[in-house]
Amino acid sequence: MPRKKSGRSEARVTGIGGIFLRSKRPERLAAWYRDRLGISEKDRVAVWRWRSARDPTRVGHTLWAVLDDHDRSWGPGEPTAQVNYRVRDLDRLLAQLRKAGASVDDRVEQSKYGRFGWVTDPDGNRIELWEPPARYRSPDRHVAME
């Protein structure tokens, strides 16, 4: 349970939204994961669908993708992986992180998939925080894992 301050629960991570691997040869890396670990991917992307334990009618997903070096902004440095964490209240969590002295990116991105923000952990790992849209729907395209 998140700690409470002033009668309010703190904003927190609610799960993993995705795992992104960066590669100079993304097709080769995706094939390695497919052939060695059985990750069934299409176009270097796998989507695992799941149902909420609190509300089984609510469907969510966790995304796994191998991306080219130039597919997205990876922030400073040369990270090879980035975890995307689902959050309930992005603005509140970013404010909490700033107040605690964390290195928080000023940019917040809005898209049809929701809102995204970034923070860097003490070891220099860039973390993506994702607040899904209010009426979140799992993507139309998914790859079954079982």
Q: Residue 55: pLDDT above 90?
A: no
List the beta bridge partners of residue 82: 20
Delineate the domains of the chain, giving CATH numbers in brackets: 9-131 (3.10.180.10)
Q: State residue 34 phi and psi, 5-degree precision.
A: -65, -50
Q: Please give the mean pLDDT across all residues of the chain.
A: 81
Q: Which two tokens stand for residue 144?
A: 């079954």
Average pLDDT, stretch 20-49?
87
Q: What is the pLDDT of residues 81-113, one digit of tens each?
A: 888 998 889 999 999 999 999 999 999 999 998
Tell me which residue of 71, 69, 85 sits closest to 126, measured CA to CA.
Answer: 85
Helical residues (DSSP H) of the chain, grouped into ranges: 26-37, 90-99
**Residue reference for tokens 């970013």:** 94
Q: Cβ distance 49 to 59 under 8 Å?
A: yes
pLDDT at 142: 44
Hey, what are 133's tokens? Answer: 């849209």
The DSSP secondary-structure symbol of 108 reads -
Distance CA 63, CA 40 (A): 12
Cα maximum dimension of the chain: 51
Please check the confidence at residue 26 and state whether its pLDDT lies above 70: yes
